């Protein structure tokens, strides 16, 4: 899983490939402020074992991809849902589509989690020829009514950095995450935090805040989702309070023929016990594709 780089417009994206590049490609898009490492090695290996070429990458402003400059979003702006983003989710989707053009000229199955789900939706809308299927994980259509943050979760976005970032992230996943998180899941967080920190380019420290501004400034994609023709699935945890389950339901309702999978006990995370269900969902959705992949 050696790192490679791809220039897309104003940014250079760092990505990794897992599996046989001659197989159908699945592009994995991670969430807010998280590097490609958060698509865990084991998850990617299990997905590749289903016959896929798996590509994970650092979004702009994360990891070893280009870090930009400019303001992010303040706590007050977040609470008021007002932002002046430096870039949009559409810009991030254009990055992803450019990467697809580089690694899979015939198109890719696109799956995104949390903020990555919103970017994945924009990829399918803006670049239908690049998108073979869509899996939106922990997502919403941007209508401003569904998938809102539960009030008790708002402090999670305003919390000052922990003196110990690694253990602080472990505690955060216990607050926002799933039931039945295990010691192995906690160790996954520790390993991934340290690995992603080693890979991180030194920027101005506002990358995550710029991504959050793009998320807060998202547009209503409902009508455009209604025009999609690719196989699609919305995957959501019933315990999710960061993007509440109404977001997944509204996403599935907006896309013609989309499947909805709701997982009891799953929060806003991807613990190991969820992996088989999500891998099944990606595989099943890809199998519905009629165009050659």
Query: Phi and psi for 53 in degrees, rounded to 5?
Result: -95, 110
pLDDT of residue 203: 78
Please report, rounded to a whole number, the percentage of residues in the chain having pLDDT higher than 90: 83
Is the pLDDT confidence value at 122 over 50? yes
Q: How far apart are CA 66 and CA 207, in angstroms?
A: 10
Edge-first strand order for the sheet with 108-113 is 3-8, 11-18, 53-57, 25-29, 108-113, 131-137, 232-237, 259-263
Say how far apart CA 193 and CA 204 lie, in whole Å: 19
DSSP state letter for 215? H
| 14 domain-assigned | yes
Residue environment code for 28-39, b if the CB has 16+ CB neighbours within 10 A, otherwise e? bbbbbbbbbbbb
CA distance linking residue 278 with residue 28, whole number of Å = 12
Segments of the chain assigned E as strands:
3-8, 11-18, 25-29, 53-57, 108-113, 131-137, 232-237, 259-263
pLDDT at 293 over 90: no
According to the model, what pLDDT value does residue 2 have? 81
User: Residue 82 has what pLDDT?
Assistant: 72
Residue 111 lies in a domain: yes
Q: Is 10 exposed, middle or buried (0-12, 13-18, 19+ CB in 10 A)?
A: exposed
Is 291 domain-assigned? no
Phi, psi of 245 (to 5 degrees): -55, -25
Task: Determine, yes or no, domain membership for 135.
Answer: yes
CATH number of the domain that 46 lies in?
A: 3.40.50.1820
Assigned domain for 234 exists: yes
Alpha-carbon gap, residue 1 to 102, rounded angstroms? 17
- Residue 151: the pLDDT is 81
User: Is 26 inside any structural domain?
Assistant: yes
Task: Give the residue-averaged pLDDT of 277-291.
Answer: 91
**Does 12 reside within a domain?**
yes
Q: Which two tokens stand for residue 192?
A: 């991934």
Given a cut of 90, whether residue 224 has pLDDT beyond it is yes
Least confident of 22-26, 33-37, 154-158, 222-226: 154-158
Domain range for 127:
3-286
pLDDT at res. 291: 46
What's the angle, vertex CA 195, arms to CA 172 and CA 68, rounded to 5? 85
112-134 core/surface letters (b: 16 or more CB in 10 A; e: else): bbbbbbbbbbbbbbbbeebbbbb
End-to-end CA distance of the chain: 22
> What is the arithmetic mean of pLDDT over 81-87?
81
* pLDDT at 283 (0 to 100): 98
* CA atoms within 13 A of residue 92's CA, in its CB half-sphere: 36
pLDDT at 198 over 70: yes
Is residue 293 situated within a structural domain? no
Task: Say whether pLDDT at 270 is over 90.
Answer: yes
Q: What does the pLDDT read at residue 85?
A: 86
Number of domains in the chain: 1
What pLDDT score does 79 carry?
63
């Amino acid at each position: 899983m050696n790192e490679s780089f791809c220039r897309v417009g104003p940014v250079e994206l760092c990505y990794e490939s897992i599996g046989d590049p001659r197989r159908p490609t699945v592009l994995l898009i991670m969430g807010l402020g998280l590097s490609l490492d958060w698509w865990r090695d084991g998850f990617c290996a299990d997905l590749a074992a289903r016959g896929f070429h798996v590509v994970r990458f650092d979004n702009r402003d994360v990891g070893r991809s280009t870090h930009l400059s400019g303001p992010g979003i303040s706590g007050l702006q977040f609470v008021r849902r007002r932002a002046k983003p430096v870039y949009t989710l559409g810009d991030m989707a254009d990055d992803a589509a450019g990467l697809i053009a580089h690694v899979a000229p015939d198109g890719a199955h696109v799956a995104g989690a949390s903020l990555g789900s919103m970017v994945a939706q924009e990829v399918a809308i803006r670049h239908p020829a690049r998108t073979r299927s869509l899996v939106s994980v922990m997502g919403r259509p941007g209508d401003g009514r569904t998938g809102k943050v539960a009030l008790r979760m708002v402090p999670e976005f305003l919390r000052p950095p922990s003196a110990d970032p690694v253990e602080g992230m472990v505690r955060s996943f216990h607050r926002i995450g799933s039931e039945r998180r295990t010691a192995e899941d906690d160790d996954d967080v520790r390993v991934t935090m340290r690995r992603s920190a080693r890979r991180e380019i030194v920027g101005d420290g506002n990358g995550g805040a710029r991504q959050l501004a793009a998320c807060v400034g998202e547009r209503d994609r409902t009508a455009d989702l209604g025009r999609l023709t690719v196989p699609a699935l919305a995957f959501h945890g019933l315990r999710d309070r960061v993007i509440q389950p109404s977001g997944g339901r509204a996403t599935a309702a907006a896309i013609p023929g989309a499947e909805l999978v709701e997982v009891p006990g799953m929060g806003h995370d991807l613990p190991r016990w969820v992996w088989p269900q999500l891998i099944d969902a990606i595989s099943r959705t890809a199998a519905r594709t009629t165009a050659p992949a």
